[in-house]
C-alpha cells in the first residue's frame, strides 16, 4: 500500500475482494486490487476495476424528500417514526415491515434486525437475500443444524475436481474463477465440471459441461449418490456422524435420471470422476437456489459430500458462493424473517429468552415473519400498511414485479433509503432518505468464505446523505428506544454484535466472534480481514471435518429427496422455459454499474438468448426484436440467436429497469412461485411465449445529453461522451425531423438530414459550435451502423457522422469485449486471423485485451475456439 491509499472492500459480489482506494481530491477515486487481501491477492474483475467510474454525484439523492418536497432530516425521521408508531398503535406490530438487503453493512443490518425483532416486536423484516441465499440457508440448517459454509477459498485451489453447478462463476464471481483457472494452469490434472442448462463463459474452463434440463438437479445428484454407493466411495467411518443415509440412498435409487435429459455417457463420465476423486468441491449458486425445489437441490448436493465424508477438509466440500457483498453478514445478523441474530432460532424459546435479555428487548416475536414474496403480497392486500425499503429495488428484482409495483403504489406509507431517487422503487416512495454510498461509509462485510473485512469511507458524504446505520439508529431513538439505539459509530454497533455472538457460542452454535468484542475504535479502524469464528480458543478454519455438527443429535442429516419439476409446465400457450440471470459487467438494477461507460459497453442492451432452431421456426432473424409473454407480464427484448441455449429454452438478463429499458423488466414475467421450505422464488424457470416483434422502424441514437425515446422499445446506456440508445416502435411518427428535435430537446445549432422516405430510412445529425450534439439513425430493419464508433463521435467535430461508419479502409471494431482497453470483437477476430494468434495470452500481447482484470479471458477463449482448426489455449 502506498501513501494516500486506503484499504477497503469491493462494492459488489460475495467474493469480497480487497481494494486499495486513492481519492483524487476532486471526488474521483483510483482503485486497485489489494495484494494482501486473502480473497483476491491483488486481483480485481472488470466491475471492481471500474469502481472509480461509479462514484460521481450524477443522479445522487442529496437530501430527504417527503411527498416530492425537500425536507430536513428532523422532519424526515420524525415522519417515518410517526407513521410507524401510528400504524403499530392502530393495527399491531405485524402491520409494518422492513425490506432490506444483502448489500447493507453488518452494522446497518444488525440494527434493522434489532429494531424489528427486539423493539417493534414483529419478525416482518426480510431481505433480498430471500431471492438469493434462502434455499442454501434452509439446506444448511436441515443438514448441519446451522447455516454454516464449511470450507474456504483455498479449497477451490486445492481440489482435484471442482464442480460448478448453477453458477456462472466466470461472470458472477470472476476473481474466484481466475483463482481456479490459475490453479488448473499450474496443475493441469485438475478437472472442472460445469452443470448448467446454458453453455456459459464458465464452460471455457470445463472439462465436462452437463446441460441438464432446467430444475433437474435433484435427480442428477440423487443419481450421483447412487453411483457413490455402487462405486464404493461411501465413507463408513464418517457415516457414524450422519443420520439418514439409508433412506436418502433408497430414495435416490428410485429417482429417474431421465429427468436430467442428459446423455448417459456424459452422466457416466461425471459420476466416475466424482466417485474417484477424493478432493472434490461442489460450488453452487442461483441455478440451485432460485428454484421451487431449491432447498432439496442444496440437500441433494450436501448428501453426496456427507456420504463420502468429503467435507471440511482441504480441497473438499460443498461450497455455496454468496452473491452480494454482505449476503453472508446478513445471514449472521439474522436478517431473514425466519432467523434470529447470530444464527439463533426464532422458534427456540431459550434463544429468544437469551436475546431478549441481552437487548433488554421490549417485545419479541415468537413466530417467523413474512418472507419477501408473502410480504409484498401482504402489502398488496393492505395488511402491511407501512414499509421501509433499504438498499434494494424490489419493483424490479422481485418476481411478479408489476404486482409488487402495484402493491407499493397502493400502500399507505412507503419509505425508501437509497443513494439515488431514480429507481423504479424510489419513484413509488412517500419518503425518500438519502444514503451515503459505498465509498462514503464505514463498516464490515462477510464474504463467501466467512472472512470479515472492513469497508472504509474515503469520500465525504455528499449533500445531506447519511449512512444507513445512522438512519436506523435515529429512527430507533425517535421511536422511544433511546438507550437501545444510542450508537454513535459503526464500531460501537460492531462491539455489541460481537458480544452478542458469545451467547450463540454459549449455545454451542457456529457463529461466535466474541474474540472481537473488545476492539477499541482504533483496533476496529485497523481491523485486518479475519475469518470467523473468532473466539479465545479458535480463529477461522473449516467446519465439519471432525464429524461434529450443530443438530440436536450432533450428527449431520442426509435427506431422502424426490425430484420435483419446476412449478409451471411449458405447454402450447407458453412453450418456452425462461431462464434469467446476470451479465459480466452489470450489477443488478444498474444504479451503479450503469454509470460506467466502460462497463456499459460490453452488452449495451437487454436481450433474449434463443436457439437457432427456435429462431428459425419463429422467423426471428438476428438482431430483430422479440416479444416475450408469460402469464404474468410481457416484455420486448433484442433477439440473440445462439446455440449456447438449448432448443425450447430462452435466457434473459435481470438488469434492465424502468430507468434503462422499461420493456425489459424481466421480473414482470416471473411467477411469484417459491420453494416451500425456503420461500425463495423460482427466478430461473418461468414459462413464456416468444414472438417476433413487428417493428415499423428501428432506431439508434447518440447524444451528449441524456435523452428518453418515446417508443415501444428503448434501451439507453452510458458512453464516455454521453448516452446511446436503441429503440423501435410499431408505428412511424408522422414527421421524423420533428421527432428528432423533440427527442434531443435541442434548440439552435445546425441540423443535417439524410432522408429516404421511400426506403424508410432517416438520419439526422445536430451540431453546435462545430461539435456533434446528437445523431439519430432510423431504418425499417435493425439499424446497420458502427455503434461504438458513432457513440465516440458525440462531442467531436464529426463532419461525416451521418455516414454512420468509418471509411471503407477502416474496419468496424465491433462491440467491446475487453472493457479495460476497449477492444472490440472484430478487432480481436481479425487479429486472430491475420496474425495467427493461438492463445489468450497471444491476443493480450498483440492487443492488450485481457491483460488487466482478465474478466474477458473466457470470451477471448471462445473467440479462439470459434475459428475452425485451432486449439484455444487459456
Ligand atoms: N456481473 C455480476 N456479478 C454478480 C452479480 C451481478 O448482478 N452481476 N450479482 C451477484 C449476486 S447477488 C449473485 S446471487 C450471484 C449469482 O451468481 P450466479 O448464480 O452464478 O448467476 P446467475 O446468472 O443468476 O445464474 C447462474 C446460472 O444458473 C443457471 N441455471 C438456470 N437454471 C438452472 C438449473 O435448473 N440448474 C442448474 N444447475 N443451473 C441452472 C443459469 O443458466 C445461469 O448460468 O452473482 C453475483 N455476482
Ligand atoms: N429474474 C430474476 N430476478 C432476480 C434474480 C435473478 O437471478 N433473476 N436475482 C435475485 C438476487 S440473487 C438478488 S441479490 C436481487 C438483487 O436485486 P436488488 O437488491 O433489488 O438490486 P440492486 O440493484 O442491487 O439494488 C440495490 C439498491 O440499493 C441502492 N444503494 C446502493 N448503495 C446504497 C447504500 O449504501 N445504501 C442504500 N440505502 N442504498 C444503496 C442502489 O441504488 C439500488 O437501488 O435480485 C433478485 N432478482
Ligand atoms: S470478483 Fe469482482 S465484483 Fe466480485 S468482489 Fe472481486 S472485484 Fe468485486
Ligand atoms: Mo443475489
Q: Point out the ligand nearest to the CA of residue 45.
A: 3
What is the pTM (predicted TM-score) of this model?
0.97
Give the number of residues written for the chain: 874
Reported as a single tens digit per residue, the pLDDT across 120-132 is: 999 999 999 999 9
So what's the pLDDT on residue 871? 43
Q: Select the highest-mean-pLDDT range: 662-676, 785-799, 829-843.
A: 662-676
Give yes or no for residue 48 CB within 6 A of ligand 3.
yes
Q: Do the Cβ atoms of 558 and 243 come closer than 8 Å?
A: yes
Q: Does residue 870 carry a pLDDT above 80?
A: no
- Cα–Cα dist 155/312, whole Å: 9
pLDDT of residue 2: 85
CA of 290 to the centre of ligand 4 (A): 10
Segment 706-729 shows an average pLDDT of 96
Q: What mean pLDDT value characterizes the chain?
A: 96
Rounded-to-integer distance, Cα 591 and Cα 16, Å: 20
* Ligand 2 binding pocket mutation candidate from 127, 568, 588 (most atoms within 8 A of CB): 588
Element (H, E) at 609: strand 607-610
Distance between CA atoms of 593 and 100, rounded to whole angstroms?
Answer: 20
The confidence score (pLDDT) of residue 819 equals 86
pLDDT of residue 833: 87
Output Rg (C-alpha) for the chain, integer angstroms: 27
Pocket test for ligand 3, best of 35, 174, 182 (most atoms within 8 A of CB): 174
pLDDT tens-digit series, residues 560-582: 999 999 999 999 999 999 999 99
For the Cβ of 175 lying below 6 angstroms from any atom of ligand 3, the answer is: yes
Q: What is the pLDDT of residues 233-266, one digit of tens each?
A: 999 999 999 999 999 999 999 999 999 999 999 9
**Which of 600-604, 673-677, 784-788 tops mean pLDDT?**
673-677
Q: What is the pLDDT of residue 493?
A: 98
Q: pLDDT, tens digit, for every residue of 526-551?
A: 999 999 999 999 999 999 999 999 99
Encode pLDDT of 655-714 as tens digits: 999 999 999 999 999 999 999 999 999 999 999 999 999 999 999 999 999 999 999 999
- From atom 2 of ligand 3, which residue's Cα is the shortest distance away? 45
Instruction: Return the percentage of the chain with pLDDT > 70, whole number.
Output: 99
- Burial per residue of 42-63, b for 16 or more beta-carbon CB atoms within 10 angstroms, e otherwise: ebbbbbbbbbbbbbeeeebbbb
Quickly state the pLDDT bin for 202 (edges 50, 70, 90). Answer: very high
Ranges of H-type helices in 653-764: 736-744
Nearest CA to ligand 2 atom 19: 392
* pLDDT bucket at 804, cuts 50 / 70 / 90: confident
Per DSSP, the three-state class of 729 is strand
pLDDT grade for 868, boundaries at 50, 70 and 90? low
Torsion over CA: 419, 424, 427, 432 (sign): negative
The model's pLDDT over 28-79, given as tens digits with 9 standing for 90+, comes to: 999 999 999 999 999 999 999 999 999 999 999 999 999 999 999 999 999 9
In this predicted structure, what is the pLDDT of residue 810?
A: 78
Residues 271-321 pLDDT 10s: 999 999 999 999 999 999 999 999 999 999 999 999 999 999 999 999 999
CB 157 within 8 A of CB 552: no
Mean pLDDT (whole number) for 834-851: 92
Q: Which of 395, 371, 393, 408 is nearest to 680 (CA)?
A: 371
User: How many whole angstroms from 604 Cα to the centroid of ligand 4?
Assistant: 22
Q: Which three cell numbers stand for residue 698?
A: 428501428
Amino acid at each position: 500500500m502506498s501513501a494516500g491509499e486506503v484499504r477497503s472492500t469491493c462494492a459488489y459480489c460475495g467474493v469480497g475482494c480487497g481494494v486499495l482506494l486513492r481519492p483524487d481530491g476532486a471526488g474521483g477515486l483510483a482503485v486497485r486490487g489489494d495484494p494482501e487481501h486473502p480473497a483476491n491477492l491483488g486481483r480485481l474483475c472488470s466491475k471492481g476495476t471500474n469502481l472509480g467510474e461509479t462514484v460521481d454525484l450524477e443522479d445522487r439523492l442529496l437530501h430527504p424528500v417527503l411527498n416530492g418536497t425537500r425536507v430536513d432530516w428532523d422532519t424526515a425521521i420524525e415522519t417515518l417514526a410517526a407513521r410507524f408508531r401510528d400504524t403499530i398503535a392502530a393495527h399491531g406490530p405485524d402491520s409494518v415491515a422492513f425490506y432490506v438487503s444483502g448489500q447493507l453493512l453488518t452494522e446497518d443490518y444488525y440494527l434493522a434486525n434489532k429494531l424489528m425483532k427486539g423493539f417493534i416486536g414483529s419478525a416482518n423484516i426480510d431481505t433480498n437475500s430471500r431471492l438469493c441465499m434462502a434455499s442454501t440457508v434452509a439446506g444448511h440448517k436441515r443438514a448441519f443444524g446451522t447455516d454454516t459454509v464449511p470450507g474456504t477459498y483455498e479449497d477451490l485451489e486445492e481440489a482435484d475436481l471442482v464442480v460448478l453447478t448453477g453458477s456462472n462463476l466466470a461472470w458472477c464471481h470472476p476473481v474466484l474463477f481466475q483463482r481456479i483457472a490459475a490453479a488448473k494452469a499450474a496443475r493441469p490434472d485438475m478437472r472442472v465440471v460445469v452443470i448448467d442448462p446454458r453453455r456459459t463463459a464458465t464452460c471455457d474452463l470445463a472439462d465436462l459441461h452437463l446441460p441438464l434440463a432446467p430444475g433437474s438437479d435433484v435427480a442428477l445428484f440423487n443419481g450421483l449418490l447412487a453411483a457413490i454407493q455402487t462405486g464404493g466411495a461411501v465413507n463408513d467411518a464418517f457415516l457414524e456422524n450422519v443420520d439418514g443415509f439409508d433412506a436418502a440412498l433408497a430414495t435416490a435409487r428410485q429417482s429417474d435420471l431421465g429427468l436430467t435429459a442428459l446423455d448417459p455417457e456424459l452422466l457416466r463420465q461425471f459420476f466416475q470422476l466424482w466417485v474417484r476423486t477424493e478432493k472434490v468441491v461442489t460450488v453452487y449458486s442461483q441455478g440451485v437456489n432460485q428454484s421451487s425445489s431449491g432447498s432439496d437441490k442444496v440437500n441433494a448436493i450436501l448428501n453426496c459430500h456427507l456420504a463420502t465424508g468429503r467435507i471440511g477438509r482441504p480441497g473438499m466440500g460443498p461450497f455455496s458462493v454468496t452473491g452480494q457483498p454482505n449476503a453472508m453478514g446478513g445471514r449472521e445478523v439474522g436478517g431473514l424473517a425466519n432467523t434470529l441474530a447470530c444464527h439463533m432460532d426464532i422458534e427456540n424459546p431459550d434463544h429468544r429468552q437469551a436475546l431478549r435479555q441481552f437487548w433488554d428487548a421490549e417485545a419479541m416475536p415468537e413466530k417467523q415473519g413474512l418472507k419477501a414474496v408473502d410480504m409484498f403480497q401482504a402489502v398488496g392486500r393492505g395488511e402491511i400498511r407501512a414499509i421501509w425499503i433499504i438498499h434494494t429495488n424490489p419493483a424490479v428484482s422481485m418476481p411478479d414485479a408489476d404486482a409488487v409495483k402495484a402493491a407499493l403504489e397502493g400502500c399507505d406509507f412507503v419509505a425508501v433509503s437509497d443513494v439515488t431517487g431514480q429507481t423504479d422503487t424510489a419513484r413509488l416512495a412517500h419518503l425518500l432518505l438519502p444514503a451515503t454510498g459505498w465509498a462514503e461509509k464505514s463498516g464490515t462485510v462477510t464474504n463467501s468464505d466467512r472472512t470479515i473485512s472492513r469497508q472504509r469511507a474515503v469520500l465525504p458524504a455528499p449533500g445531506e446523505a447519511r449512512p444507513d446505520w445512522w438512519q436506523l439508529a435515529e429512527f430507533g431513538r425517535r421511536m422511544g428506544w433511546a438507550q437501545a439505539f444510542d450508537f454513535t459509530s459503526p464500531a460501537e454497533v460492531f462491539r455489541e454484535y460481537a458480544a452478542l455472538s458469545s451467547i450463540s457460542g454459549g449455545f454451542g452454535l457456529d457463529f461466535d466472534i466474541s474474540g472481537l468484542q473488545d476492539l477499541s475504535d482504533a483496533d476496529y479502524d485497523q481491523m485486518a480481514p479475519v475469518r470467523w469464528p473468532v473466539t479465545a480458543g479458535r480463529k477461522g478454519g473449516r467446519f465439519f471435518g471432525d464429524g461434529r455438527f450443530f443438530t440436536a443429535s450432533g450428527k449431520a442429516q442426509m435427506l431422502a429427496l424426490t425430484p420435483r419439476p419446476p412449478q409451471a409446465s411449458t405447454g402450447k400457450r407458453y412453450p418456452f422455459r425462461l431462464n434469467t440471470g446476470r451479465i459480466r459487467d452489470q450489477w443488478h438494477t444498474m444504479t451503479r454499474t450503469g454509470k460506467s461507460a466502460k462497463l456499459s459497453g460490453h452488452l449495451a442492451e437487454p436481450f433474449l438468448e434463443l436457439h437457432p432452431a427456435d429462431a428459425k421456426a419463429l422467423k426471428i432473424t438476428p438482431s430483430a426484436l422479440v416479444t416475450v409473454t408469460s402469464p404474468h407480464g410481457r416484455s420486448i427484448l433484442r433477439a440473440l440467436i445462439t446455440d449456447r441455449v438449448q432448443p425450447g429454452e430462452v435466457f434473459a438478463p435481470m438488469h434492465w429497469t424502468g430507468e434503462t429499458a422499461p420493456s425489459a423488466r424481466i421480473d414482470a414475467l416471473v411467477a411469484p412461485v417459491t420453494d416451500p421450505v425456503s420461500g425463495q422464488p423460482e427466478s430461473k424457470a418461468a414459462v413464456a411465449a416468444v414472438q417476433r416483434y413487428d417493428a415499423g422502424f428501428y432506431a439508434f441514437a447518440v447524444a451528449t445529453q441524456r435523452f428518453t425515446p418515446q417508443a415501444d422499445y428503448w434501451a439507453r446506456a452510458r458512453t464516455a461522451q454521453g448516452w446511446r440508445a436503441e429503440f423501435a416502435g410499431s408505428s412511424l411518427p408522422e414527421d421524423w425531423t420533428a421527432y428528432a428535435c423533440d427527442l434531443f430537446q435541442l434548440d439552435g445549432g445546425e441540423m443535417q438530414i439524410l432522408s429516404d422516405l421511400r426506403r424508410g430510412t432517416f438520419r439526422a445529425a445536430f451540431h453546435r459550435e462545430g461539435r456533434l450534439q446528437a445523431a439519430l439513425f432510423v431504418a425499417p430493419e435493425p439499424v446497420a451502423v458502427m455503434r461504438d464508433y458513432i457513440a465516440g463521435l458525440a462531442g467531436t467535430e464529426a463532419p461525416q457522422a451521418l455516414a454512420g461508419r468509418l471509411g471503407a479502409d477502416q474496419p468496424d471494431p465491433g462491440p467491446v469485449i475487453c472493457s479495460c482497453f476497449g477492444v472490440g470483437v472484430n478487432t480481436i477476430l481479425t487479429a486472430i486471423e491475420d496474425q495467427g494468434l493461438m492463445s489468450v495470452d497471444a491476443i493480450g500481447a498483440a492487443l492488450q485485451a485481457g491483460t488487466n482484470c482478465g474478466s474477458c479471458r473466457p470470451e477471448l477463449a471462445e473467440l479462439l475456439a470459434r475459428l475452425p482448426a485451432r486449439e484455444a489455449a487459456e
